[in-house]
């Protein structure tokens, strides 16, 4: 990695690594997929990842990774972003949800993330939650509601 301290270059490289890890996991990208939405939470140092693969016929299929190396990439991304935030480096290509964070203000590492990968465009976008790790939590009680909430528009 060109930027071991985790600035914008480090974040961008880790986002690329995350996209590669997703693409290499056949349990995440199902046949005829349109969009993949993954939710990650890191609580007490233990990452979790679940989400939905939306297919061309409109179905939402609950997915989890089979290759746990993706967790290493997610944790490295989180750590790199925390270092960059502490250093005031807010540049980079990751689309971030920074509601309530003043520019230049140091943030704690994010506690939850929502990643979207669009098949047609190949674009990977991300939103990060610093205060409410349950913001996008998928549970047996809310799985249908979350599937509708995260569904691609149109």
What are the tens digits of pLDDT across the range 90-141?
Answer: 544 444 443 333 333 446 899 999 999 999 999 999 999 999 999 999 999 9
What pLDDT score was predicted for residue 20?
Answer: 92
What pLDDT score was predicted for residue 52?
Answer: 98
pTM of the model: 0.81
- Lowest average pLDDT, out of 64-68, 87-91, 145-149, goes to 87-91
What are the tens digits of pLDDT across the range 49-77?
Answer: 999 999 999 999 999 999 999 999 999 99
Q: Which long-range contacts (CB under 8 A, 24 or more apart) does 16-22 make?
A: 17/73, 17/76, 18/70, 18/73, 18/74, 18/77, 18/115, 18/124, 19/117, 19/124, 21/65, 21/67, 21/69, 21/70, 21/73, 22/70, 22/115, 22/117, 22/124
What pLDDT score was predicted for residue 89?
Answer: 55
CA distance 73 to 111: 15
What pLDDT score was predicted for residue 85?
Answer: 73
Domains in the chain with CATH codes: 8-150 (3.30.500.20)
């Amino acid at each position: 990695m060109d930027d071991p301290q985790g600035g914008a270059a480090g974040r961008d490289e880790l986002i690329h690594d995350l996209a590669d890890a997703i693409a290499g996991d056949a349990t995440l990208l199902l046949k005829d997929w349109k969009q993949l939405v993954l939710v990650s939470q890191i609580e007490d140092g233990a990452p979790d990842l679940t989400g939905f693969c939306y297919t061309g016929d409109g179905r939402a299929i609950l997915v989890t990774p089979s290759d746990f190396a993706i967790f290493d990439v997610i944790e490295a991304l989180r750590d790199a972003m925390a270092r960059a935030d502490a250093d005031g480096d807010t540049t980079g290509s990751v689309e971030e949800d920074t509601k309530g964070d003043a520019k230049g203000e140091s943030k704690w590492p994010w506690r939850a993330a929502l990643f979207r990968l669009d098949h047609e465009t190949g674009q990977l976008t991300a939103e990060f939650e610093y205060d409410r790790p349950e913001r996008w939590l998928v549970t047996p009680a809310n799985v249908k509601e979350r599937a509708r909430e995260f569904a691609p528009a149109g």
